[in-house]
Structure 1
């Protein structure tokens, strides 16, 4: 039975079937083989999303889309350019810093790539950055929206693995800053080596810099409001998502860049994105039932306990598993399927839940940029050149993958990077 499940799953996946339909097809097949009523699948699917906390997902997605279309991106780009624009590879660094800043107000990986890329990519082409370098930078930089709070991925992981969403949010700050810094250093080094970009000679006066900071101040207050509301105990993560939508809407009206037609498009896009994620979550819950009924989670747990004698070995083995599976499927299904399996084992090793959560988050970020299924790579290609494929991003994309992999190892071996802020504010 176990062999049938695994072979069916990977065969359908390699044939190109969407992950939700892959899990659903295998689930239906296994229930029929076990002579179990398909009503059970419907019940499990409903139970998978029958959680009040999941309301935060469409709300954070809506907030990010409103902010992307409401004029916040331009102000964040100006601030990032004022900070790093004068350096070698300044525009490339600006795209990375802006992705970090926008990630702090949107929480979405792909939304960050498109919001920042739509403005920055045309300017990078004007400054003679190659398409391969541009796509390999703007796509992976979008994963900063997954790491820096608020993060939609952290919401899903927190609910699925029963980890505090607020503590996950604040735990992502230091890893996010570290990754931003390393990618900026790489962007500057590679730009200087290849002769990409133009160093802007025009200096920004102190008054102009203060004006830029003033314009960017209100957008940058978004994570402060969200995290402050959660840690003060005034709101839950779901209620904080409501505040994010309201605040983004008010700012967009204040900047007068949100039209009625734009708003209609935002609502449709947010609804489709939310539905896609929730369908995966619901089907994954039914699929998890089939796995549990066939004792696959117990077998995986026994395997780790037998071959990993230390917490570090366990975390390295988990990272290897996620790296392999991350090349085959997208992040949401990995969270729903594997985090309930891995979390109890991590507790047996005495690993801090927040530390383990950040190890998973960083691995999910890596999964987003590993071909052939890395959504951030696909988004980077799409925003740079619609005829561009992931294979055209080499070798630059390998460099960025190595940078993210290094951060994964740093988080594994230095737990305090993940836990110091939650412990301080907890």
Structure 2
């Protein structure tokens, strides 16, 4: 009775649009009260603290702060000028520029929401001026932003690593090939979309001197992902320490190299990063409480027994999990979905011999598709809020990009080496 009411309240609160952290917390407290186990109330605070009492989670505020510093420090425009000098003169070149810049920003910021906001405000208006349909231009920004949670550093991969007790460094390495595949899929989609639009104007080809200058100016921010990954791979620093180093590099570039970051900007930057961090960690704390209730009811064991009873073929089980996650991604943000589903689904994967790093990449690619899918896709609402297109029109324009993302999802799911090759190589 108590668990049925727990699930009913959980889905009712989601349907009412209550923020996910409150959904997790309120439904968990309701379960304890309905079951009459008031003694468990004494342990709820401890469980929530345990949910965030992990050294690896320190990487979250550091990478969020680094992203804010880099955006304010003028790094975004240098990346745009660099990509435009190489790709802008092609038909549909600004769409390719958008995808490339999103990829670079993803490798620095690690957040789809932030990447979508930056490219929608900076690149989409320029695309519209060059004759791109505004819906199509907005779709490029929305789709390309989904590389953010896959390309390292990634908040989703950090939270998965904590929830699954898996090496975050290995997950960062595993995200490189799937992230590049997503970018390639979006390139193909943008190519076919731009071919149908004869009204697109090409950006004039720049001279070799101009291209070289744009490359030299953008070289410092382009090297940041290499420094971060290189340090993690070589063991010089941990992923958490890499976040702190990214902040130092961002301050150095924005404040001293480009001279666009002033000391007076820092309080506002720290405040914005702190607000987002508080939201992420609040979800992590209440998700730990939610997971505790699931463990009390033995839900992971029940789900594992049910799935393996249907089939012993790992590919069939993966297909079932993939379909389930696609549905879950329609209604839950990836960060919350990871924290809720990992304790339930990872035991199934482990029982079938599926590597936790491969499983993490499959889950992550699966769930980021939900970011650009109605009704809850947060990136959709960020982009429409900036570009003023309708959600329906943007969703239609995203159809070719959905196809590209689904192809990559199938590859990542059923070709484990796409995720495991680099972690095994640098083991």
Q: Which moved more, 1:328-337 or 1:305-314?
A: 305-314
| Structure 1 residue 204: Cα displacement | 2.2
Corresponding residue for 1:108?
111
CA distance in structure 2 between the aligned counterparts of 1:203 and 1:316, rounded to whole angstroms: 46
| Structure 1 residue 205: Cα displacement | 2.5
1:53 corresponds, among 53, 56, 68, to 56
Whether the aligned pair in 1 keeps the contact of 2:88 and 2:205 (CA below 8 Å) is no
What aligned pairs does 1:298-337 form with structure 2 within 5 A after superposition?
Answer: 298-337=301-340
Corresponding residue for 1:239?
241
Whether the aligned pair in 2 keeps the contact of 1:134 and 1:384 (CA below 8 Å) is no
Corresponding residue for 2:47?
44
- Secondary structure of 1:147's aligned partner: coil
Corresponding residue for 1:69?
72
Indicate whether 1:344 and 2:355 are aligned.
no
CA distance in structure 2 between the aligned counterparts of 1:131 and 1:203, rounded to whole angstroms: 23
| Structure 1 residue 344: Cα displacement | 2.2
| Structure 1 residue 195: Cα displacement | 2.8
1:266 corresponds, among 250, 265, 269, to 269
Whether the aligned pair in 2 keeps the contact of 1:121 and 1:383 (CA below 8 Å) is no
Taking only aligned residues, the RMSD between alpha carbons, in angstroms, comes to 1.5
- Secondary structure of 1:163's aligned partner: coil
| Structure 1 residue 264: Cα displacement | 2.6
> Normalization by structure 1: what TM-score?
0.96
Whether the aligned pair in 2 keeps the contact of 1:330 and 1:375 (CA below 8 Å) is yes
CA distance in structure 1 between the aligned counterparts of 2:362 and 2:19, rounded to whole angstroms: 26
> Normalization by structure 2: what TM-score?
0.95
CA distance in structure 2 between the aligned counterparts of 1:352 and 1:83, rounded to whole angstroms: 39
Deviations 1:260-316 (A, max 9, x none): 443332111101100011101101111111111112222111121111321111211
Distance 1:383 1:308, change over 3 A: farther
Q: Which moved more, 1:34-43 or 1:244-253?
A: 34-43
Moved over 6 A (4+): none
CA distance in structure 1 between the aligned counterparts of 2:242 and 2:199, rounded to whole angstroms: 41
Whether the aligned pair in 2 keeps the contact of 1:139 and 1:377 (CA below 8 Å) is yes
Unaligned runs of 5+ in 2: none
What aligned pairs does 1:21-420 form with structure 2 within 5 A after superposition?
Answer: 21-37=22-38, 38-200=41-203, 202-253=204-255, 254-385=257-388, 388-420=389-421
CA distance in structure 1 between the aligned counterparts of 2:278 and 2:37, rounded to whole angstroms: 27
Unaligned runs of 5+ in 1: none
Whether the aligned pair in 2 keeps the contact of 1:157 and 1:335 (CA below 8 Å) is yes
| Structure 1 residue 17: Cα displacement | 1.0
Whether the aligned pair in 2 keeps the contact of 1:140 and 1:380 (CA below 8 Å) is no
